[in-house]
Each structure stands twice: as C-alpha cells, then as structure tokens.
C-alpha cells in the first residue's frame, strides 16, 4: 500500500520514519525541501504537490501546524482534493479546530473521499519512539482500514466518534495538560519560595494522587532548567485558542484555559514561544521573583 505523508515538521518527520521502518511505501511532501530530502534518503519517494501525492496514494496522511494550513493543503490550489481518487482516505493528524475538520470532510465527501481526524498527543519524544496517543473521529469502516497504519505511530489508537471527535478529544487533552503544567509550576514555585527543595517536593508528591504523566515528564526538565522544545509554548497557545473558540461556540465554560493561555501569551511576547510548554514555570517565577531549580 502506498501512503502519502504531507507535513514533515517536528512531529511529522519521525512519524513518517516509523512508517518506513515498518515497511510501508511512503510518498512525502513538504515545503521544507531539507526535510523532504532527509525522508527520501531514509527510503521514501517524493512528489512536488499535495495533489500529486493524493493521486498516487489510497491513504493520505497530513500533519500540519493549524487549520489554515490543512485547508490550504487539502482544499487549496494543488491540494489533496484535486488529485484524490474516489474511495481514498485522508487522515488528518494535525491538531485543528473540529469545526474545520467537519468543513473539510464535507468538501471531500463530494468527491467520495473519506476523512478521519486523528490528532496526536505525546510530543516529539513519543513521535520518535512510536508511542503517541492518537484520537480518531470518523466512520468506523474507514478507521478499520487505517488502524494498523496508525498503530505504527501510536501506542494508543482510539476511535472517539464521528468526524471532529478526534479534535474534540485533543482539545480536552490540551486543556488537561495545560492545567497540569500550571499546577506543577505554581506548586514548585511555592516550594522554592518557602525555601523547600523543589526536587524533593516533586519526589514526595509524584507517587500520590498529584502524580501524573505531565509531572513525571516535565518536572525534571524544569528542575534542570531545560526548556528545549518537545512541544512549544506557541503550539500550546494555538491548541488552547482552538479550545476557547470551540467552547465559545458551544457556550461551555473554560476559565482555567483562559488563564493559562494568557500566561503563555505573556511568555511568547517575551520571545519564549519556542520554549517547551513546561517553560510555563517562568511566568510564575517572574511573578515570584525566584527561580526553580535542583539544589
């Protein structure tokens, strides 16, 4: 089976490599020609446009930054919709607005192309080792056809519901991650301000009810002052903005997300948008005039 892969960024590139490792024939496309060359050297072939990729493949995967990029790649000039064959499946693995997912799906359905939205969680480390959490929305029969492909890239692959449901699940995920990050930052700054070793506080609480995947993954990096991006603050801002827009359309309250996005925007305005989202601790540090680190 030939698989098209459009979007070879921080997440897409290792995901594509895992498909090649698993023996799939891959045709790739990206605006970044260095990324394309790297994948070609790894065993993929390439085509110059999304239209060309979709015309050559029965399954097309997209992994792009946000809603406008996906709309352009799929519905724009030279896009997937111009080349895709009836019966082919587009799996959009980007994290975008569920409203836009449904809009794109409707347009594709007019050409008898099926769409699944399948955003991922886990950041670059889990993209590299193929253990992402993948949340899928769309028809069950289409999901069954691509489930094995998705399992190459993810440890957990869950069909959540109809089209758009995958991105609703991803927004829920990002709200919970943001809340965890803010709680962790608030707590570690409090401990530091009280002259208690924040690393020992982390060790003390991680095995109790406060323990979480977020705490285990991010607290050691904060304590080491390592804000190299696994998932950038600017990307989390994008996801939270999608969550706020969706919540507003549904009249659903999101006060925590509203607070956290403002903290992240403050850091982004200071040039820290490319920091890992665990760097949210810096907002609290600035307020407290203290720095969290291992003693």
d(CA 44, CA 130): 18
Q: Would you say 178 and 257 are in contact if contact means Cβ atoms under 8 Å apart? A: yes
* Cα within 13 Å of Cα(142), Cβ side: 25
Q: Nearest CA to 150 among 103, 114, 105, 117?
A: 117
Q: Would you say 233 and 280 are in contact if contact means Cβ atoms under 8 Å apart? A: yes
CA distances from 188 to 12, 34, 199 (A): 33, 40, 8
Tokens of 122: 């886990």
Task: For residue 112, give the DSSP letter.
Answer: T
Exposed/middle/buried for residue 250 (C-beta within 10 Å: 0-12, 13-18, 19+): exposed
Q: Would you say 42 and 17 are in contact if contact means Cβ atoms under 8 Å apart? A: yes
d(CA 160, CA 165): 6
Residues annotated as catalytic (active site), given as ranges:
170
Q: Would you say 283 and 236 are in contact if contact means Cβ atoms under 8 Å apart? A: no
């Amino acid at each position: 089976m030939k698989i098209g892969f459009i979007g070879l960024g921080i997440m897409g590139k290792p995901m594509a490599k895992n498909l090649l490792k698993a023996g799939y024939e891959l045709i790739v496309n990206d605006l970044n020609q260095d990324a394309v060359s790297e994948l070609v050297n790894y065993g993929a072939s390439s085509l110059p446009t999304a239209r060309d990729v979709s015309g050559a493949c029965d399954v097309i995967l997209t992994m792009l930054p946000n809603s406008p990029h996906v709309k352009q790649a799929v519905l724009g000039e030279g896009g997937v919709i111009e080349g895709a064959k009836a019966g082919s499946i587009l799996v959009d693995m980007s994290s975008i607005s569920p409203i836009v997912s449904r809009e794109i799906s409707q347009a594709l359905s007019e050409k008898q192309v099926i769409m699944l939205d399948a955003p991922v969680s886990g950041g670059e480390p889990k993209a590299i080792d193929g253990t992402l959490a993948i949340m899928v929305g769309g028809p069950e029969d289409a999901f069954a056809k691509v489930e094995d492909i998705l399992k190459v890239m993810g440890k957990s692959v869950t069909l959540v519901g109809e089209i758009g449901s995958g991105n609703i699940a991803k927004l829920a995920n990002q709200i919970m991650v943001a809340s965890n990050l803010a709680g962790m930052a608030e707590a570690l700054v409090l401990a530091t301000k009280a002259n208690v070793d924040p690393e020992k506080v982390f060790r003390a609480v991680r095995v109790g009810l406060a323990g979480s995947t977020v705490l285990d993954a991010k607290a050691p990096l904060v304590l080491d002052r390592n804000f190299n991006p696994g998932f950038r603050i600017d990307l989390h801002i994008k996801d939270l903005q999608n969550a706020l827009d969706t919540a507003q359309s549904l009249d659903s309250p999101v006060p925590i997300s509203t607070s956290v996005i403002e903290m992240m925007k403050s850091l982004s305005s200071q040039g820290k948008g490319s920091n890992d989202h665990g760097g949210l601790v810096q907002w609290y540090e600035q307020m407290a005039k203290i720095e969290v680190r291992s003693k």
